[in-house]
Amino acid sequence: MRKKIKNQFTLIEVAVVLLVLVALAGVVVPLALGYAQRSHGSTGAGNIAQLTANINRFETENFQMPNGWDSLIDGATNLPFDGALTAFTLDTDGSGTDAERKALTDAGITSVFDLEDQDSPNGEYTTFGSNGALGAETIIAGTILAQIAGTDVRNALGASNDPADTYIALGIGENLTAIGKTITTAPYDFPEGAEKPEESYKRFIAIFNVSGDKAKFIGVVAAHDGEISNIQDHINEYYEATE
């Protein structure tokens, strides 16, 4: 008589398998999280450096800045980055000089694209919502854009930036006229966790000083959890994940 083949696990065998799986998870999960953090740090640093160079190249070749930036503002004057940016109305001093608008337009920045609010209570803005869906808005006196504090600009982009000056932040989206010229495509900041670009604005941000006669491009940053991150922050993030 043939022996009956055993085809069921005992409780002890199941417990052993579960213990092995838990032990493996303790090794694999931290490695996966570290890999995601390293990817975020390395790609972010590379994109910031490349975008900075390509925007400067566009200005050199065309004698003006690219046009068609993301305004980082929705129709209700909300912003996707709590704490990092504030709403700023051009020509707020009432002098009629409209200095900030003229500084931008003299640099070639005459139109922007507003963001599309996906979920107002949670402040979610799609990375792709400004891609022509809401149409271009001509910059005029009274246009609302995103302002970044001078101290934040100084900390992120160098001590040569006067914290008393006025700085405007503009998103680098697919409508930018540099796309297809000096920039192949507009990248988005590689998400650290479960953020979806369909529900969260993940583009990089260009900073302009508008205190002079002509807006001056200062550099590129990213925004994480309400804080501005520069290229060094991304490099530090990469090396922290390797420790």
Which residue, 135, 126, 145, 132, is CA-closest to 199?
Answer: 126
Per-residue pLDDT at 53: 96
Does residue 175 lie in a domain region? yes
Number of domains the chain contains: 1
Does residue 133 lie in a domain region? yes
Q: Please state whether the predicted TM-score (pTM) of the whole model is above 0.85.
A: no
pLDDT in tens, 88-116: 998 766 555 689 999 999 999 999 998 88
Does residue 1 lie in a domain region? no
Query: In the chain, which residue ranges form alpha helices assigned H by DSSP?
Result: 11-62, 99-106, 150-157, 231-242
Which residue, 168, 114, 106, is CA-closest to 137?
Answer: 114
Does residue 67 lie in a domain region? yes
Per-residue pLDDT at 197: 73
Distance CA 101, CA 134 (A): 21
Per-residue pLDDT at 33: 47
Does residue 16 lie in a domain region? no
Does residue 23 lie in a domain region? no
Domain with 174, as residue range(s), is 29-242
Does residue 137 lie in a domain region? yes
CA 152, distance to chain mean position in Å, is: 15
Distance CA 128, CA 154 (A): 29
Per-residue pLDDT at 141: 87
Distance CA 215, CA 180 (A): 23
DSSP notation for 26-77 = HHHHHHHHHHHHHHHHHHHHHHHHHHHHHHHHHHHHHSS----EE-S--TTS
The two most distant CA atoms of the chain are separated, in Å, by 104
pLDDT of the chain, 243 residues: tens digit per residue: 555 555 565 666 656 666 666 555 554 444 444 545 566 677 888 999 999 999 999 999 999 999 999 999 886 777 877 678 999 998 766 555 689 999 999 999 999 998 887 665 555 677 776 555 667 899 998 899 999 999 999 999 999 999 999 999 999 999 999 999 999 999 988 766 666 777 778 899 999 999 999 999 999 999 876 788 888 887 777 667 565
Does residue 6 lie in a domain region? no
